Amino acid sequence: MQNTIRNSIEQAQQIYMGLTCMIPQIENAAQIITKRLLSGGKLIVMGNGGSAADAQHITAELVGRFETDHKPIPAIAITTNSSILTAVSNDFGFDDVFLRQVKAFAKPEDVILAISTSGTSPNINKAVEFAKSAGAAIIGLSGKDGGHLKDLCDECLIISSGRTCRIQEAHILIGHILCELIELNMPQ
């Protein structure tokens, strides 16, 4: 049992240390988001499963507060309305669950934060393809090799791991860093 614990900690440490190579990408992602927010846009965040929870977590930090008091930052997780999620899934199919919402809410000045541990989620990629064609900026948090998502993003932060749990841990660290940088650069 202790070996399993030790291995998990060591894997997480390796991934976290590898993030230092991504500092310019993380900075660029934060700048893209901040620029869009300062221009009157909003942040729309989506993901499936644990990534849906991360979407909610990140938006809560921005609308509420991360570490400092600030004006509410316009951010929305499109993973939260159970009536929309179930109606769209039932009437159009699960692949359109985020697409329909992006069509309803996204404007060209907005930025999409798409979270997918594989980069291959059809519902994420369809929504991102539409948002990109509509002029929104796209930031991706992905894993493994980035999947198709990496090709759709203005900036895609890829955690090169085959373990979903390690990818998710790194995603929430990046999410927190993005929140910190956005918070620092938004008017108080």
- Please count the CA atoms within 13 angstroms of the CA of 11 that sit on its side-chain side: 18
Q: What angle do CA 168, 143, 171 make, to 5 degrees?
A: 30
* pLDDT < 50 positions in the chain: none
Would you call 15 helix, strand, or coil by DSSP? helix
State the CB neighbour count (10 A cutoff) for residue 10. Answer: 10
- pLDDT at residue 186, rounded to an integer: 87
173 close to 161: Cβ distance less than 8 angstroms: no
Q: Provide the whole-model pTM.
A: 0.96
- Residue 45: which residues within 8 A CB-CB, separation 6 or more? 55, 56, 58, 59, 75, 76, 77, 78, 79, 112, 113, 114, 115
- pLDDT at residue 188, rounded to an integer: 73
User: Can you tell me the distance from the alpha carbon of 22 to that of 135, in angstroms, rounded to the nearest whole number?
Assistant: 25
- Residue 85: which residues within 8 A CB-CB, separation 6 or more? 79, 97
Give the residue numbers spanning the domain of 179. Answer: 2-185
Amino acid at 12: A
Looking at the 3D structure of the chain, how many domains does it have?
A: 1
pLDDT in tens, 99-144: 999 999 999 999 999 999 999 999 999 999 999 999 999 999 999 9
CATH of residue 169:
3.40.50.10490
Name the nearest CA neighbour of 94 among 116, 119, 74, 124: 124
